[in-house]
Structure 1
């Protein structure tokens, strides 16, 4: 029997100070051993709580993972929305700044979004999958809006073009996880993002107008 599900809207998670502490330790555990091996018992041990105390703040692993996704999604999408909306800046420069922010999130978290997306979409948990897709869809929509302003003569709709600009940050995130010895330095990653975006958009002229 097939069930239909309405996509979830990403509502920013506003944690209490104690929940914020728990989330930071949960982020560390996911970075180290993945989402599959995350348990409330392990989080409790890391924080120094009893497992029962963790349940007072997050009633289940699903609730904790949902908070992780919403927190990370907010860190990604909040600044991205502001960058996309800054019409005082040429669209190609806005696009470059948006991709830089995405790369910055991945590098600051050791590629954590890659783990959440890859493992989360494989869980079969429909609500988690919808939550992840809501973040990804919102991001694609913001990129597509800026790409529509640029008007690339690619013969491909902006939403599909947007996936290419998610691809570079995703590749850099996978590099951090799978090939840490080959990981780029911050200046190298910054230079590569600029080159990549300008190469795909032919936007060197816009970059000359505004120094990002």
Structure 2
């Protein structure tokens, strides 16, 4: 049911509706006309905020990925937790977020996959934010003497790459395996142990 016509058409309202349309029709069939229809406006009104279907899809993906980045930032910024524990918590939260997105929101997860295949700047920015958060955690550990890394940015990238099986969408089918949690815990323990000072 379209929202009340008196409600102003904002980018946020368009993005919320686009998520619903993507869930309903999937990334290949959903159109800007479908979004406009769900909003009760003309497709030209949607184009005033987002110049193309691709721009709208990227904005939805950015918003969706931003939720994960926000949760991970809470962990990265936690002042009282020691860096090794923070690193484990961060990796676990990333794995859980990706698993939930793949399982609970498959249509939007498919949109993310489409953008990844297109080498979207949104996805690149998301990955850089994640690696930067890892770098801050590892840097804190180095400063506190609990972790060792001669090159913190390189160590952050290495940790991200080493744990890719647990957050890269190309491995999403494996995340349903009954042994995946034990495998994740083994890799995480190895990575953290390797970084300990």
Report which stretch shifted further, 62-71 or 21-30.
21-30
Cα drift, residue 90 of structure 1: 1.7
Aligned to 2:123: 132
Cα drift, residue 103 of structure 1: 1.6
Cα drift, residue 99 of structure 1: 1.6
2:45 aligned with 1:56: yes
TM-score by length of 1: 0.63
Paired residues, number: 171
Aligned to 2:78: 86
Cα drift, residue 20 of structure 1: 0.8
Equivalent-residue separation in structure 2 for 1:132 and 1:106 (angstroms)? 14
Q: Do the aligned residues in 2 keep the contact of 1:84 with 1:94 (CA within 8 Å)?
A: yes
Equivalent-residue separation in structure 2 for 1:160 and 1:19 (angstroms)? 31
Residue 118 of structure 2: SS of its match in structure 1? helix
Residue 167 of structure 2: SS of its match in structure 1? helix
Equivalent-residue separation in structure 2 for 1:87 and 1:29 (angstroms)? 43
With over 3 angstroms needed to count, the CA separation of the structure-2 counterparts of 1:132 and 1:176, relative to structure 1, is closer
1:1-212 to 2 correspondences below 5 Å: 15-16=12-13, 19-27=15-23, 29-30=25-26, 37-40=28-31, 44=34, 49=38, 53-57=42-46, 58-110=50-102, 112=109, 115-121=113-119, 129-151=120-142, 152-153=147-148, 157-171=154-168, 173-177=169-173, 183-185=176-178, 188-202=179-193
Q: Do the aligned residues in 2 keep the contact of 1:165 with 1:197 (CA within 8 Å)?
A: no
Aligned to 1:208: none
Equivalent-residue separation in structure 2 for 1:51 and 1:60 (angstroms)? 18
Q: Do the aligned residues in 2 keep the contact of 1:95 with 1:143 (CA within 8 Å)?
A: yes
Superposed CA RMSD = 3.5
Report which structure shows greater RCO (CA 8 Å, sep ≥6).
Answer: 1
Equivalent-residue separation in structure 2 for 1:92 and 1:176 (angstroms)? 26
Report which stretch shifted further, 56-65 or 81-90.
56-65
